[in-house]
Structure 1
Amino acid sequence: MLDTHHAGHAGHAGHPGSANAHSDGHEGHAHPTNTGVDNRKFAMWTLIASECFLFGTLIGNYLIHKSRGVSGPTPQQVYQIDITTLSTFDLLMSSVAMVLALHYCNEKKLRLFQFWTAVVAIGGLIFLGFQYHEFSTFVLKDGLSLSTNIFGSSFYLLTGCHGAHVTMGVIWMLAILGTSLVKGDKWFNSTMVEVAGLYWHFVDVVWIIIFTVVYLFVYV
């Protein structure tokens, strides 16, 4: 009886450790930081903060040099505002699709999630197609290359950098879509989709700023 009594106490003493182990396992799965924010979200916000400095520098560089010592094609001569407006609308709609993709991921509606994730990726590819058309027209028709003048250099550096970010976003969306197609209903990682959404919305906001400052301000 005495042994049984002690064993009972030992069993009760083991419960806190067991609870802690369960708690630690749960927290490890959630990847929290000391701030209570998921590590992946924290890393993305940190990346976005650093990218703000990058694009701020590139936009500032463009504004300083766009009209300085320009010989050759100028912004007013080469910009096709109607085409750029279409590409901007396309990118904005892809942001709406991203919101819907996250919504259906949270709702665990696999087919709708996959559909809207595909729409996001397609929207990004369409935007890149518009950008390719713009660049090729500038180079082949207007004679504006990276080395033509300081305007060309600063313009291609800024918009090309943004295009590279869109490309990375498209690859990310396709990777998420591919993983969900392989794993099916077993895969619903709403945190990963939310982090990807943060990146995609940031890229869209940056483009709105570029469209306004680089394209629209030319006509002001």
Structure 2
Amino acid sequence: MPAPSILPLAIALAIGVAGLGLVIGQWRVIIIGAFALFVAVVALGFEYPEHGQESHDPDSAPSSGGVDPRKVGLWAFLGNECVFFASLISTYIIYKSRNTTPPGADLLEIPLTSISTFALLMSSLAMVLALAAIQRNDKRWMRGWLGCTIALGLVFLGVEAYEFTHFYHQGLALQTNLFGQSFYTLVGFHGFHVSIGVLWLTTLWCASLSDRFDKLRALSVELAGLYWHFVDVVWVVIFTLVYLMQQVKGA
């Protein structure tokens, strides 16, 4: 069994603190949560459990069909995140149903956001290739594909930062109207999750420079990949709802 770790709990608490700060509009709380998240994710990326070597003890071998507890924990976390994003999306839909053409919706730039969406989707493919590489113990290609995933994630975040800045200068701020509040909250929280993913992948890339990082650590890459694919799928829903459906008359 894997050694117990407090880091997943620390990450969850840090996300909660940062989210609370965003909700109440206190930048100090956001900074504290973000810093705690940074420290916890970096520590998790470099964490090498004592059981990181192959075990020759038949009693310690996983049972047939057994699932690693870390993977179960991540799936539970992603399930909680599904509920979180479902609530944000529901809020957006409820508001939009009351106003077919919300003030500020005309600022959305479909072509530019389509490019960032394509970059994020391609990053999922690169993530799959990175996992396949480490599973065959090819660290060189794993680092290459992982670096590609990180770069594409940064492209997505860069476009989102430009988009937010452009909207702000055009007069659409968080306090402007309900559309601004729902848009920045939904898209902003997703961008926050992408940032966490980029940080996670970066720590894995740095950890892979160690000689101790081999195919036995493939689960670490797989867990990061599951999280990354999750934020990709969530973005497909957000992009369709917020951007594409906005162009459909009466949607």
TM over 0.5: yes
**Unpaired runs of 5+ in structure 1?**
1-20
- Counterparts of 1:12-51 in structure 2, within 5 Å, are 22-27=57-62, 36-51=66-81
**CA displacement 1:148-187 (0-9 Å, x = unmatched):** 0000000000001000100000000001000011x13643
- Counterparts of 1:100-119 in structure 2, within 5 Å, are 100-119=129-148
- TM-superposed CA distance for 1:44, in Å, is 1.0
- TM-superposed CA distance for 1:40, in Å, is 1.1
- TM-superposed CA distance for 1:26, in Å, is 3.9
Asked if structure 1 preserves the Cα contact closer than 8 Å seen for 2:207 and 2:213, the reply is: no
- TM-superposed CA distance for 1:36, in Å, is 1.6
Letter in 2 for 1:107: R
Relative to the length of structure 2, the TM-score reads 0.72
* Change over 3 Å in CA distance of 1:115–1:71 after alignment to 2: closer
Relative to the length of structure 1, the TM-score reads 0.81
Q: In structure 2, which of residues 70, 82, 87 is the aligned counterpart of residue 52 of structure 1?
A: 82
- Counterparts of 1:1-220 in structure 2, within 5 Å, are 22-27=57-62, 36-66=66-96, 68=98, 73-75=103-105, 77-140=106-169, 142-181=170-209, 183-184=210-211, 186-188=213-215, 189-220=217-248
- TM-superposed CA distance for 1:79, in Å, is 0.4
Aligned residue pair count: 192
Structure 1 moving runs of 4+ over 2 Å: 23-27, 66-74, 184-188
Asked if structure 1 preserves the Cα contact closer than 8 Å seen for 2:134 and 2:214, the reply is: no
Letter in 2 for 1:23: P
Query: Which residue of the partner structure matches residue 16 of structure 1?
Result: none
- TM-superposed CA distance for 1:192, in Å, is 1.0
Asked if structure 1 preserves the Cα contact closer than 8 Å seen for 2:133 and 2:141, the reply is: yes
- TM-superposed CA distance for 1:55, in Å, is 0.6
Letter in 2 for 1:136: T
**Greater helix fraction, Structure 1 or Structure 2:** 1
User: Structure 2: how far apart are the matches of 1:51 and 1:178?
Assistant: 27
User: Structure 2: how far apart are the matches of 1:137 and 1:24?
Assistant: 60
Query: Which residue of the partner structure matches residue 5 of structure 1?
Result: none
Letter in 1 for 2:84: L
Q: Which structure has more RCO (C-alpha within 8 Å, separation ≥ 6)?
A: 1
Q: Compute the RMSD of aligned alpha carbons.
A: 2.1
* Change over 3 Å in CA distance of 1:152–1:70 after alignment to 2: farther
User: Structure 2: how far apart are the matches of 1:190 and 1:164?
Assistant: 25
Q: 1:37 aligns to what SS in structure 2?
A: coil
**Unpaired runs of 5+ in structure 2?**
1-55
Q: Computing the radius of gyration over CA atoms, which structure comes out larger, 1 or 2?
A: 1
